[in-house]
Amino acid sequence: MNMHWLLRMARWARNPPSEGRVKLVLGVIAACLVLAGIEWVWGWPDWLTTQKIPRMP
């Protein structure tokens, strides 16, 4: 483990983040999991898939 991460963990142990920040992080994680679940159940739509455009020589 990097020394930078150890120092960050020590700082967080001394001064934990506020309740609002914890809720924000958990909300972002929940939104990512919801989007991943939707993509896993229904798949990626064809209209969002990029098409390779052939180059003119």
Question: For residue 54, what pLDDT is reported?
Answer: 82
Report d(CA 51, CA 21) in Å as an integer: 40
33 found inside a domain: yes
Question: For residue 19, what pLDDT is reported?
Answer: 95
- Give me the residues of the chain with pLDDT under 70, please: 1, 57
5 found inside a domain: no
Question: For residue 44, what pLDDT is reported?
Answer: 81
What's the domain count of the chain? Answer: 1
Question: For residue 57, what pLDDT is reported?
Answer: 66
31 found inside a domain: yes
Report d(CA 26, CA 15) in Å as an integer: 19
A 10 A CB-CB count for 57 gives 3
SS3 content of the chain, % helix, strand, coil (to 5): 70, 0, 30
pTM of the model: 0.62
Domain that holds residue 29: 18-42
